[in-house]
Structure 1
Amino acid sequence: MLIFKIFRTEEWTALRKDGVTDGAPIDVADGYVHFSTAAQAEETAAKHFSGQDGLYLLAVDAGALGDELKWEVSRGDALFPHLYRKLHLKDVVWAQPLPLANGVHQFPAGLAEAEA
Protein backbone atom coordinates (compact mmCIF):
# COMPACT_ATOMS: atom_id res chain seq x y z
CA MET A 1 0.00 0.00 0.00
CA LEU A 2 1.28 3.44 -0.89
CA ILE A 3 0.93 6.31 1.54
CA PHE A 4 1.48 9.95 0.67
CA LYS A 5 3.36 12.99 1.94
CA ILE A 6 2.92 16.52 0.65
CA PHE A 7 6.08 18.63 0.71
CA ARG A 8 6.75 22.22 -0.25
CA THR A 9 9.43 22.66 -2.92
CA GLU A 10 12.11 23.58 -0.38
CA GLU A 11 11.32 20.49 1.75
CA TRP A 12 11.52 18.17 -1.26
CA THR A 13 14.74 19.86 -2.42
CA ALA A 14 16.28 19.41 1.04
CA LEU A 15 15.33 15.71 1.14
CA ARG A 16 16.90 15.13 -2.26
CA LYS A 17 20.06 17.01 -1.21
CA ASP A 18 20.45 15.52 2.29
CA GLY A 19 18.93 12.08 1.69
CA VAL A 20 17.03 12.29 4.98
CA THR A 21 14.58 14.63 6.72
CA ASP A 22 12.66 15.09 9.94
CA GLY A 23 9.84 16.35 7.73
CA ALA A 24 7.97 19.61 7.58
CA PRO A 25 7.80 21.97 10.57
CA ILE A 26 4.55 20.31 11.76
CA ASP A 27 6.27 16.92 11.69
CA VAL A 28 9.17 18.21 13.76
CA ALA A 29 6.77 19.80 16.26
CA ASP A 30 4.67 16.62 16.58
CA GLY A 31 7.62 14.22 16.70
CA TYR A 32 6.65 12.12 13.68
CA VAL A 33 6.23 12.43 9.92
CA HIS A 34 2.57 12.83 8.93
CA PHE A 35 1.31 10.80 5.96
CA SER A 36 -2.09 10.33 4.34
CA THR A 37 -3.69 7.45 2.51
CA ALA A 38 -4.78 8.01 -1.08
CA ALA A 39 -8.34 8.58 0.17
CA GLN A 40 -7.12 11.20 2.70
CA ALA A 41 -4.57 13.08 0.57
CA GLU A 42 -6.92 15.52 -1.17
CA GLU A 43 -8.53 16.59 2.11
CA THR A 44 -5.07 16.98 3.65
CA ALA A 45 -4.03 19.24 0.78
CA ALA A 46 -7.20 21.33 1.08
CA LYS A 47 -6.93 21.64 4.87
CA HIS A 48 -3.20 22.26 5.30
CA PHE A 49 -2.01 23.57 1.91
CA SER A 50 -4.98 25.54 0.59
CA GLY A 51 -3.96 27.82 -2.27
CA GLN A 52 -0.27 26.90 -2.00
CA ASP A 53 1.57 26.27 -5.24
CA GLY A 54 4.96 24.61 -5.60
CA LEU A 55 4.01 21.40 -3.79
CA TYR A 56 5.18 17.84 -4.39
CA LEU A 57 3.33 14.62 -3.73
CA LEU A 58 5.58 11.82 -2.48
CA ALA A 59 4.52 8.18 -2.48
CA VAL A 60 6.02 5.77 0.06
CA ASP A 61 5.47 2.02 0.43
CA ALA A 62 3.88 1.65 3.89
CA GLY A 63 4.95 -1.99 4.15
CA ALA A 64 8.62 -1.10 3.76
CA LEU A 65 8.59 1.26 6.77
CA GLY A 66 8.30 -1.51 9.35
CA ASP A 67 7.28 -1.06 12.95
CA GLU A 68 8.16 2.63 12.97
CA LEU A 69 4.99 3.35 10.99
CA LYS A 70 2.00 3.64 13.32
CA TRP A 71 -1.65 4.01 12.35
CA GLU A 72 -3.22 6.50 14.74
CA VAL A 73 -6.59 8.18 15.09
CA SER A 74 -6.58 11.75 13.80
CA ARG A 75 -8.90 13.98 11.76
CA GLY A 76 -12.48 12.71 11.75
CA ASP A 77 -11.52 9.71 13.92
CA ALA A 78 -9.82 8.18 10.86
CA LEU A 79 -6.57 6.24 11.09
CA PHE A 80 -3.62 8.13 9.63
CA PRO A 81 -0.10 6.77 9.04
CA HIS A 82 2.60 8.38 11.20
CA LEU A 83 6.29 7.59 10.80
CA TYR A 84 8.31 7.68 14.03
CA ARG A 85 11.72 8.09 12.43
CA LYS A 86 13.33 10.26 9.81
CA LEU A 87 12.09 9.94 6.25
CA HIS A 88 14.85 8.75 3.91
CA LEU A 89 15.02 9.53 0.22
CA LYS A 90 15.29 5.78 -0.43
CA ASP A 91 11.80 5.41 1.16
CA VAL A 92 10.25 7.46 -1.65
CA VAL A 93 8.79 5.28 -4.42
CA TRP A 94 7.93 8.27 -6.58
CA ALA A 95 7.45 12.02 -6.34
CA GLN A 96 5.76 14.45 -8.66
CA PRO A 97 4.60 18.04 -8.68
CA LEU A 98 1.15 18.70 -7.23
CA PRO A 99 -0.04 21.56 -9.44
CA LEU A 100 -2.67 24.09 -8.46
CA ALA A 101 -5.41 24.90 -10.97
CA ASN A 102 -8.25 27.28 -10.16
CA GLY A 103 -7.30 27.05 -6.49
CA VAL A 104 -7.53 23.24 -6.36
CA HIS A 105 -4.61 20.81 -6.21
CA GLN A 106 -4.55 18.44 -9.16
CA PHE A 107 -3.89 14.91 -7.93
CA PRO A 108 -2.79 12.13 -10.29
CA ALA A 109 -5.59 10.22 -11.94
CA GLY A 110 -6.18 6.85 -10.32
CA LEU A 111 -4.58 7.76 -6.99
CA ALA A 112 -7.24 5.82 -5.06
CA GLU A 113 -6.13 2.63 -6.81
CA ALA A 114 -2.72 3.16 -5.22
CA GLU A 115 -4.18 1.89 -1.93
CA ALA A 116 -4.69 -1.56 -3.38
Structure 2
Amino acid sequence: MPPDSSLIYKIVSQHEWLAAEAEGHFIGSAVDIDDGYIHFSTSTQARETAARHFAGRHGLLLVAVEVAALGEALKWEPSRGGALFPHLYDVLPLHAVRRVDVLPVDEDGTHLFPSMED
Protein backbone atom coordinates (compact mmCIF):
# COMPACT_ATOMS: atom_id res chain seq x y z
CA MET A 1 0.00 0.00 0.00
CA PRO A 2 1.20 3.54 -0.67
CA PRO A 3 2.11 5.83 2.21
CA ASP A 4 -0.72 7.86 3.69
CA SER A 5 -0.08 11.20 1.98
CA SER A 6 -1.78 13.19 -0.74
CA LEU A 7 1.47 14.64 -2.15
CA ILE A 8 4.61 13.21 -3.69
CA TYR A 9 7.72 15.14 -4.72
CA LYS A 10 10.01 15.42 -7.73
CA ILE A 11 13.39 17.14 -7.68
CA VAL A 12 14.11 18.74 -11.06
CA SER A 13 16.44 21.31 -12.53
CA GLN A 14 14.98 24.73 -13.27
CA HIS A 15 15.85 24.13 -16.93
CA GLU A 16 13.86 20.85 -17.03
CA TRP A 17 10.88 22.50 -15.38
CA LEU A 18 10.86 25.48 -17.75
CA ALA A 19 10.75 23.00 -20.63
CA ALA A 20 7.86 21.16 -18.97
CA GLU A 21 5.91 24.38 -18.55
CA ALA A 22 6.47 25.23 -22.21
CA GLU A 23 5.28 21.76 -23.29
CA GLY A 24 2.36 21.58 -20.85
CA HIS A 25 3.63 18.35 -19.25
CA PHE A 26 6.83 16.85 -17.83
CA ILE A 27 8.29 13.83 -19.63
CA GLY A 28 10.92 13.22 -16.97
CA SER A 29 14.63 13.77 -16.55
CA ALA A 30 17.21 11.74 -18.48
CA VAL A 31 17.30 9.03 -15.78
CA ASP A 32 13.49 8.86 -15.76
CA ILE A 33 13.40 8.41 -19.52
CA ASP A 34 16.11 5.73 -19.33
CA ASP A 35 14.23 3.86 -16.57
CA GLY A 36 10.83 4.12 -18.29
CA TYR A 37 9.06 5.97 -15.48
CA ILE A 38 9.27 9.24 -13.54
CA HIS A 39 10.89 8.83 -10.11
CA PHE A 40 9.17 10.54 -7.17
CA SER A 41 9.73 10.56 -3.42
CA THR A 42 7.46 10.93 -0.43
CA SER A 43 8.07 13.78 2.00
CA THR A 44 10.08 11.43 4.22
CA GLN A 45 12.19 10.15 1.29
CA ALA A 46 12.91 13.44 -0.49
CA ARG A 47 15.81 14.61 1.69
CA GLU A 48 17.70 11.34 1.24
CA THR A 49 16.97 11.42 -2.50
CA ALA A 50 18.47 14.93 -2.66
CA ALA A 51 21.54 13.87 -0.67
CA ARG A 52 22.14 10.72 -2.75
CA HIS A 53 21.43 12.01 -6.23
CA PHE A 54 21.68 15.82 -6.15
CA ALA A 55 24.27 16.63 -3.46
CA GLY A 56 25.58 20.18 -3.83
CA ARG A 57 23.65 20.83 -7.05
CA HIS A 58 22.27 24.33 -7.47
CA GLY A 59 19.37 25.41 -9.65
CA LEU A 60 16.94 22.75 -8.45
CA LEU A 61 13.23 22.86 -7.77
CA LEU A 62 10.99 20.72 -5.58
CA VAL A 63 7.72 19.93 -7.36
CA ALA A 64 4.80 18.84 -5.16
CA VAL A 65 2.32 16.63 -7.02
CA GLU A 66 -1.19 15.44 -6.11
CA VAL A 67 -1.24 11.65 -5.87
CA ALA A 68 -4.96 11.45 -6.68
CA ALA A 69 -4.48 13.28 -10.00
CA LEU A 70 -2.13 10.60 -11.36
CA GLY A 71 -4.50 7.65 -11.42
CA GLU A 72 -3.41 4.12 -12.21
CA ALA A 73 -0.20 5.24 -13.95
CA LEU A 74 1.29 5.80 -10.45
CA LYS A 75 2.81 2.63 -9.01
CA TRP A 76 4.35 2.16 -5.57
CA GLU A 77 7.41 -0.04 -5.94
CA PRO A 78 10.19 -1.19 -3.60
CA SER A 79 13.51 0.59 -3.89
CA ARG A 80 16.08 1.73 -1.27
CA GLY A 81 15.98 -0.72 1.60
CA GLY A 82 12.65 -2.13 0.39
CA ALA A 83 10.81 1.17 0.96
CA LEU A 84 7.95 1.84 -1.46
CA PHE A 85 8.66 4.71 -3.86
CA PRO A 86 6.15 6.33 -6.22
CA HIS A 87 6.90 5.80 -9.92
CA LEU A 88 4.79 7.39 -12.65
CA TYR A 89 4.51 5.35 -15.86
CA ASP A 90 3.26 8.29 -17.92
CA VAL A 91 4.03 11.95 -18.46
CA LEU A 92 3.32 14.27 -15.54
CA PRO A 93 0.39 16.56 -16.40
CA LEU A 94 0.90 20.05 -15.01
CA HIS A 95 -2.64 20.14 -13.60
CA ALA A 96 -1.45 17.56 -11.03
CA VAL A 97 1.17 19.97 -9.63
CA ARG A 98 0.18 21.70 -6.41
CA ARG A 99 3.28 23.89 -6.06
CA VAL A 100 6.89 24.36 -7.14
CA ASP A 101 9.50 25.55 -4.63
CA VAL A 102 13.12 26.56 -5.07
CA LEU A 103 15.48 24.02 -3.47
CA PRO A 104 18.47 26.09 -2.35
CA VAL A 105 21.76 24.70 -1.10
CA ASP A 106 23.48 25.80 2.11
CA GLU A 107 27.22 26.37 2.47
CA ASP A 108 27.74 22.67 3.29
CA GLY A 109 26.04 21.53 0.07
CA THR A 110 22.88 20.37 1.83
CA HIS A 111 19.54 21.26 0.25
CA LEU A 112 17.20 23.41 2.31
CA PHE A 113 13.70 22.00 1.99
CA PRO A 114 10.51 24.01 2.36
CA SER A 115 7.76 22.77 4.65
CA MET A 116 6.39 19.56 3.20
CA GLU A 117 3.28 17.48 3.85
CA ASP A 118 4.03 14.23 5.69
Provide the residue aligned with 2:3 in structure 1.
none
**Structure with greater proportional helix content:** 1
Q: 1:18 and 1:81 mapped to 2: Cα distance?
A: 23
The Cα shift of 1:21 comes to 2.2
Identity percentage of aligned residues: 51
**Aligned partners of 2:79 and 2:85 also within 8 Å:** yes
The aligned amino acid for 1:74 is S
Q: 1:35 and 1:72 mapped to 2: Cα distance?
A: 11
Structure 1: 5+ residue runs without aligned partners?
none
The Cα shift of 1:47 comes to 0.5
Q: 1:100 and 1:51 mapped to 2: Cα distance?
A: 7
Provide the residue aligned with 1:101 in structure 2.
106
> CA RMSD, aligned part only?
0.8
Instruction: Check if 1:45 corresponds to 2:53.
Output: no
Q: 2:17 and 2:96 mapped to 1: Cα distance?
A: 13
Q: 1:94 and 1:31 mapped to 2: Cα distance?
A: 24
Using the size of structure 1 for normalisation, the TM-score is 0.93
The Cα shift of 1:91 comes to 1.5
**Aligned partners of 1:15 and 1:88 also within 8 Å:** no
Instruction: Check if 1:80 corresponds to 2:85.
Output: yes
Show structure 1 runs of 4+ deviating over 4 A: none
Provide the residue aligned with 1:68 in structure 2.
73
SS of the residue 1:100 aligns to? coil
24, 28, 31: which one aligns with 2:29: 24
The aligned amino acid for 1:106 is L
Using the size of structure 2 for normalisation, the TM-score is 0.92
**Aligned partners of 2:101 and 2:114 also within 8 Å:** no
The Cα shift of 1:64 comes to 1.6
